[in-house]
Amino acid sequence: MSEDISKLHDKLKSETGIHTNFREDMTYGDYLQLDSILSSQKRLSGHHDEMLFIIIHQVSELWMKLILHELTSAIRAIQDDKMQAAFKMLARVTKIQTQIIQAWDVLSTLTPAEYLEFRDKLGKASGFQSFQYRQIEFALGYKTKHILKIYEQDIALFEQLEKVYNAPSIYDVSIQALAKAGFQINPTVLNRDYSVTYGGDESVANAWKEVYRNVDKYWNLYQLAEKLVDVEDWLQQWRFRHMKTVERIIGFKTGTGGSSGVNYLRKVLDHRFFPELWDLRTSL
């Protein structure tokens, strides 16, 4: 073992080009602003496991920031007929989603007894209030107006959320792409109020069926549909792991934010973002 360490030290010594003087240059920590990030874990209790709770949620919020970055750009790319760029962005979203799902495995190491040691310190703060998660839901087409009331005290944030709430979702622009490709889409769908959650339409269902029956002819639209299904599939898996982790830690207690907790999380599992893309699996 000591010989291996000695060899490693010799190899490191041979790396004569490694920079060590950063009096005038930016370091890795400077670039990532690690002083700010690593000083943002402020426990409100003295309990050891509160650090886990904070970091899991902060990391998830960072991943959600990247999801929003990719989703927003994918929407613009679809509108601009840049499908290959959109496919790359949506593929990245699904990879990010796997990381967030795995975070629940780490949080599930927190036992009910451990969580009770600091849960009261959260007050009314809850993941239910995550404004980035709401933006993701809005960008995917799930619009819930009553949720906006949570953010009314922060005018800038409220306006930011309201903008996404009223904007076309990624499914709306995908339906528009069907129309651009020559499919006869119901005008009321193309000119609908984007603040209303989409519920499905026969003309859209027929268009997607035609795409799946003629994959070679409509290859880009077919790929787009499958990328959307991937995103929804992983989101529902994230929701399921969230629900089971909450049940494992607090059972059926009311959430700190006032929601019904597990019962609420079970209800949202029933929602489908892209209904026709799931229905056609049966009807094809």
Q: Which residues are annotated as a binding site?
A: 53-57, 115, 119, 242, 256
The distance of Cα 130 from the centroid of its chain, to the nearest Å, equals: 11
The amino acid that residue 152 corresponds to is: E
The one-character DSSP state at 24 is: S
Q: Which residues are annotated as a binding site for heme?
A: 242
DSSP 173-240: HHHHHHHHTT----HHHHT--TTSPP---HHHHHHHHHHHHSTTTTHHHHHHHHHHHHHHHHHHHHHH
Q: Which residues are annotated as a binding site for substrate?
A: 53-57, 115, 119, 256
* Dist CA 237 CA 54 (whole Å): 22
Closest CA to 128 of 255, 283, 263: 255
Hunting for tokens 């990010």 — which residue is that? Answer: 96
* Dist CA 229 CA 238 (whole Å): 14
Residues 71 and 230 sit within 8 Å (Cβ to Cβ) = no
